[in-house]
Amino acid sequence: MSDPAYFTRYTGIYMARDAAGVLELTLHTRGGPALWGTSPASLHAELGDAFLDIARDRANRVIVLTGTGDSFIAAADPQERAPESSLADMWPRIYDEGAALLRNLLDLPVPVIAAVNGPALIHAEIAVLSDIVLASDTAEFADLAHVPGGGAVPGDGVHVVWPMLLGPNRGRYFLLTGERIGAEEARRIGIVGEVLAPAALLPRARELAAQLAKLPTPMLRYTREVLVRQLRQRLGAELSSGLAHEALATLLPR
Whole-number CA gyration radius for the chain: 17
Read off the DSSP letter of residue 8.
Answer: G
Catalytic option among 80, 125, 140, 246: 125
Q: Are 108 and 159 in contact (CB under 8 A)?
A: no
Q: Are 60 and 98 in contact (CB under 8 A)?
A: no
Residue 113 φ then ψ, to 5°: -115, 125
- Per DSSP, helices labelled H in the chain are 43-56, 87-106, 125-128, 158-166, 168-177, 183-188, 198-213, 217-227, 229-251
Which strands make up the sheet holding 112-116, listed edge to edge? 13-17, 22-27, 62-66, 112-116, 132-136, 194-196
Helix (H, G, I), strand (E, B) or coil at 192: coil
Q: Which of 135, 133, 130, 134 is nearest to 111 (CA)?
A: 130
Tell me if residue 46 is catalytic: no
Q: Are 94 and 82 in contact (CB under 8 A)?
A: yes
The residues annotated as belonging to the active site are: 125
